[in-house]
Structure 1
Amino acid sequence: MWIFDSSIDKKMNSFALLLLRIVVGCFMLTHGVAKYKTLMDGGEFADPIGIGSSASLWLAVFAELVCSALLIIGFATRIAVVPLLITMIVAVFIVHSADPFGNKEVGGLYLIIYVLLLITGGGKYSIDGLIGKKNKKRGYY
């Protein structure tokens, strides 16, 4: 029965990665847009790691806006998730360190998804997948 089949279906796995990248990227993009508005309005932002509130806001906007957009299209996926991973590590383990678990769980879910994408990459249905396919044809790897 297919429900219990644990063999790897590469097309289905790549489709699952596509779906995951798009959904998580779009969700995080909304956070990035809000932070971008804060940046443009000159609003206040926290300084959780001691680099200044302005630098912290710029880095958060870069991660949540730019890197989420790269994640959605699957371009440089493994590189794009690194700033997102760092942002979630700071959010979960520094900003919300004293908060109850329930306030950390969403950040924790993002964190584990970004770890998964760091390991797997963007999958076949991504710009990374297209680049990888061309490089294989050219014999680069």
Structure 2
Amino acid sequence: MSAKSTFLSANSISLDLGLLILRLFSGVAMLTHGYPKFQKVLEGNMQFGDPLGLGTATSLHLAAFAEFICAILIILGFLTRFATIPLIITMAVAGIIVHAADDFGTKELSLVYLGIFLTLFFTGPGKYSIDRQIWK
């Protein structure tokens, strides 16, 4: 096998390392959005948007759960596919509804996160995860 074909071919190690890196970077980055929301919940400050008409407190609780708790699960690779579902919904709401009238640059980050969490939903967490250790 030539060096070129080795470089261009996907192998299990590179795929699993890539998924680990994707999980770690996206999960930690999402925590920077989720931690302040989680703090608001703990403080009882329910000022938050209500894009779906569920009420501000419910919207904040759902966003904090997705962006903080589910981000931690993504980092750990624990219940990964389940943890991506609230994040997919939250990022879709942010990108498509909350920022609907904004320019692309404003909604871009939520759409990038949406793509990342959709990818993790379909691929799973990879070999370097708690999920893989539990459900070999």
State TM-score, norm by structure 2.
Answer: 0.92
Q: Deviations over 1:26-49 (max 9, x none)?
A: 110111111012223333100000
| Counterpart for residue 118 of structure 2 | 115
Match of 1:42 among 41, 44, 57: 44
Match of 1:13 among 9, 15, 24: 15
Q: Distance in 2 between matches of 1:88 and 1:131?
A: 28
Q: Distance in 1 between matches of 2:17 and 2:36?
A: 29
Q: CA deviation at 1:3?
A: 7.8
Distance 1:13 1:93, change over 3 A: same
Let me know the Cα RMSD of the aligned residues. Answer: 1.4
| Counterpart for residue 58 of structure 2 | 55
Q: CA deviation at 1:132?
A: 2.7
Q: Which runs of 5+ in 1 are unaligned?
A: 134-141
Q: CA deviation at 1:129?
A: 1.1
Q: Deviations over 1:48-92 (max 9, x none)?
A: 000000000000111011100000000111110000000000000
1:80 aligns with 2:83: yes
State TM-score, norm by structure 1.
Answer: 0.89
State how many pairs are aligned. Answer: 133
Q: Distance in 2 between matches of 1:108 and 1:5?
A: 30
Identity percentage over the alignment?
A: 47
